[in-house]
Chain A
């Protein structure tokens, strides 16, 4: 088992195994694709093979002739029945350009892989085959693939009718940047290029739309992180009221943002089911899943520094290649990258500007880190570069510039309010845990043998629990706690789980607050018909708001139980205790079930002291969020600021460029640990993402904008042999405004760990003078950098 903490009694703080874990080990958990209905039909989508083209005509007759095909639908036909997909985060709300997004393209395609037509057939193979029988007459136009090209004068427009390939330009920051730069000893510029990579859960997206003619209602069973907000979106697409729509998210096989909505297939299966009158299922191919991108950004970070390494000012005008417009919330990541600058550093003179550019690559969706991972990469690579230029230790430079622990709550120059933290303490813990100084010695010894070991650090500030005004990215959530007459407990909550274990965290909280045994609690999530309204899973929020709201509801129910228990025992309420299902007053003990039964059945005598049933719904809305702009027009969308430091030890084979990780350490501040084994899982999972990001995962295109990355042979994700042993330590500074001081633990780590790896490789190759700031550091790139460095400095003698 993971680390046990026994500072508190009760369940919170303990490594308990998940309450929902039995199903998966038995092969009995029900994922979306495991659900089928009588008359089940299957959809397969024809996707554009071109990055930009006009659709002149579509001939579906070949597909219609295939035996087993039920219906073929094109964009033109679909448009008769359904409306465009509302944006998860509409750029127009923030003054940006907003495109009309449809489930199926009408007369123009703006990216490779865009849905053009759909075949519904009796089985998936027939549907796939029939799709190959559709002929489309495309008039191919010139695509724009790179951000630089997209911004050139006369560039073709990705969205017909727009006057620029730009969602919006957003300035962040404040202070006297000019003054900071002119008074600096040096200005050190680092170009950081972050590539396109994706979350790729092992379960791909799957939707099954089921229309019920009798009630004229639709149920969508799907891999959905945010059922309630999606219901609203579906109501707009389908032109149906929300109370005729049910969204049900069964067990989810990993999400990481990918399963936040706005995808064309969600509305499509619902509409097809209604059109045909039978259930319609669509299961995403891995090739389709790989179309969904994220994170591709070009930064040019300038640090104004003193010669001893104090950062006086920061400038970074960056470009995000967000691909073609999409209704998914992905593009917003680019916004968060700027908003989170300058991360953990105490720099008040900041000039950061985002250009969120559209191109003819497929669009983005939310991805673990939600833009903050790119902030970490841009900052941490720049700090290392600056430290090298200044000839000072990269850790010293960070320590010097971290916001001090007595500066919280801290007003960031972009308008954020950091709740709490001890960044230097976190960094120190991560270094101590790995034996930073010993590794320095080992590194020197290895170099004598011609082996290149590198030590790199990275820090990530990860605001969690985000909420944006005027969107269904909500900051609060609600839960219902129900205790049945037999004393068993059911918690229904608006947050959902991507498989991270949050139902167990919530149950641990309820067990303690209510005073019952953990194994008597069931948690129900992911169903708009049974659960209270909520915003689902995103932004590391689920335990904060799900747990916070369930705790409040549990307290209300507990009060009722205690009242009736006191009446039954004929003692004073204040003398009654309730813990792990045992109700007592002095040496009198009463059975929980007896009390609960009485609450329901004796409403006219002992039970009259309460209002049955034993049920309460509560809402938790964290503080610190500020949606009303301050005098600079800035908002603070986050209630809490988790943070973590990473140390990576790597070894580079200078003959091949292959990087091997030897050891990893992370120190994490998630405010309060509810379940150590779950938090460890989140941290290790995020580091694995960071490893993939830094070294291998990459989505590439040819010069015509056709995606080259098509399978998991091309998109190489870390396997068990790639991940070194990871040491996790905690250094928690409780959030002053959240339930139990929670900060969230699910999102952090992709950027911080990737940055630590990149820094470790540069550190290993410092004898050559190599400094790579473009990800991923694949072996060919590392090798070329070494070759280039050798050529540039042939005189430099390397051990």
Chain B
């Protein structure tokens, strides 16, 4: 029985395409793993209770709040963080470009959540309505923009992404 208990946990994570094999303590959140073990600080801490969304990443293609995701439960997973949105040659993705052009953020602290959720939204919906945008971003708080420019940024991102695809 005791042999079923592990003191540390081995996880294999592909983060933004790069494979990491890590031996981690059982209690570690994915947020801490990214920030502390992998030095990827683009994903932010705003509450540690799942309310703000600043820590959002995508796990196997679905957005998640990394602060309330126990890293040890992801024995094998593909993770994309905000850093992973930038293309390999350094060009910004349509979403990043649109958020920048339309002032979809001010201080930028909420950007990880807003951008990652927009990315997931646009994957299945190339022309989101206001209410679809509201649903997609409902898990994220922004304290600076008042959300108006953010909505505009999501719409602009949709247009840019379509242009790029065609």
Contacts and interface: CB of A to CB of B under 8 A. Distances in A.
Interface string A693-721: 00000000000000000011100011111
Contacts of B128: none
A251 to B, nearest CB: 7
Interface string B104-129: 01111111100100000000000000
Nearest to B113: A202
A253 interface: yes
A286 B48 contact: yes
A720 B109 contact: no
**Which residue among B44, B83, B146 has the maximum number of chain A CB atoms within 10 Å of its CB?**
B146
Nearest to A690: B146
Contacts of B140: 719-720
B47 to A, nearest CB: 4
A726 interface: yes
A686 B146 contact: yes
A414 to B, nearest CB: 31
B133 interface: yes
A22 interface: yes
A96 interface: no
A34 interface: yes
Contact of A25 (B96, B137, B150, B151): B96
A657 interface: no
B31 to A, nearest CB: 11
A253 B44 contact: yes
A30 B41 contact: yes
A125 B112 contact: no
Interface string A716-742: 011111010110000000000000000
B148 interface: yes
Contacts, number: 181
B76 to A, nearest CB: 23
Nearest to A204: B46
Nearest to A200: B143
Interface string B142-153: 111111111100
B101 interface: yes
A465 interface: no
B27 to A, nearest CB: 7
B92 A26 contact: yes
Interface string B128-142: 000001100110111
A22 B100 contact: yes
B146 A201 contact: no
Nearest to B130: A725
Contacts of B112: 27
Interface in A398-452: none
Contact of B143 (A251, A254, A283): A254
A26 B51 contact: no
- Among A22, A254, A678, find the residue whose CB has the most chain B CB atoms closer than 10 A: A254
A70 interface: no
A21 interface: yes
B73 to A, nearest CB: 18
Interface in A348-381: none
Nearest to B153: A25
A681 B145 contact: yes
B51 A17 contact: no
A187 to B, nearest CB: 38
Nearest to B150: A720
Contacts of B35: 34
A717 B47 CA distance: 13
B118 to A, nearest CB: 11
Contacts of A26: 42, 82-83, 85-86, 92, 96
A713 B110 CA distance: 18
B146 A17 contact: no
B141 A719 contact: yes
Q: In the complex, which of the residues A28, A202, A677, A719 has the most CB atoms of chain B within 10 Å of its own CB atom? A: A202
Contacts of B41: 27, 30-31, 33-34
Nearest to B108: A24
Contact of A685 (B81, B137, B146): B146
Contacts of B147: 684, 688, 718-720, 723
Contact of A253 (B27, B109, B145): B109
B64 interface: no
Contacts of B150: 720
Q: Is the interface of B mostly helix, strand, loop or mixed?
A: loop
A25 B81 contact: no
Given A25-B115, A203-B109, A680 B134 contact: no
B44 to A, nearest CB: 7
Contacts of B51: 711-713
B58 interface: no
A559 interface: no
B56 to A, nearest CB: 11
Interface in A1-59: 1-2, 17-18, 21-31, 33-34
A48 B153 CA distance: 44
Contacts of B42: 26-28
A500 interface: yes
Given A25-B111, A31-B44, A254 B103 contact: no
A752 B37 CA distance: 46
B103 A202 contact: no
A126 B82 CA distance: 29
Contact of B109 (A1, A201, A283): A201
Contact of A677 (B48, B54, B149): B149
Given A21-B100, A25-B111, A253-B109, A202 B148 contact: no
B52 A712 contact: yes
Contact of B47 (A22, A684, A712): A712
Given A24-B111, A27-B81, A723-B148, A2 B103 contact: yes
Contact of A500 (B40, B92, B144): B144
B138 A719 contact: yes
Contacts of A678: 103
B66 interface: no
Contact of B111 (A18, A27, A252): A27
B146 A501 contact: no
A28 B109 contact: no
A285 to B, nearest CB: 7
Contacts of A24: 105, 107-109, 111
A230 B108 CA distance: 24
A202 B110 contact: yes
B109 A499 contact: yes
Nearest to A753: B146
B46 A27 contact: no
A286 B47 contact: yes
Interface in A250-267: 251-254, 256
Given A27-B42, A720-B133, A720-B137, A498 B148 contact: no
Nearest to A28: B42
B166 interface: no
A499 B108 contact: yes
A202 B142 contact: yes
A283 B101 CA distance: 32
Interface in B26-52: 27, 35, 40-49, 51-52
B150 to A, nearest CB: 7
A681 B47 contact: no
Given A27-B111, A30-B41, A254-B107, 17 more contacts: A25-B92, A25-B96, A26-B92, A27-B81, A27-B83, A31-B44, A201-B107, A202-B143, A681-B144, A681-B145, A681-B146, A684-B145, A712-B49, A712-B51, A720-B147, A721-B138, A726-B148
A-B pairs, top 10 by smallest CB distance, nearest first, are A27-B42, A499-B107, A24-B108, A684-B146, A253-B109, A27-B82, A712-B51, A34-B41, A688-B146, A25-B96
27 contacts: A24-B109, A24-B111, A25-B92, A25-B111, A25-B115, A26-B82, A26-B86, A27-B111, A31-B109, A33-B44, A203-B46, A203-B54, A251-B108, A283-B45, A498-B107, A501-B103, A678-B103, A680-B148, A684-B145, A688-B143, A711-B49, A712-B52, A717-B141, A720-B134, A721-B134, A723-B146, A723-B148
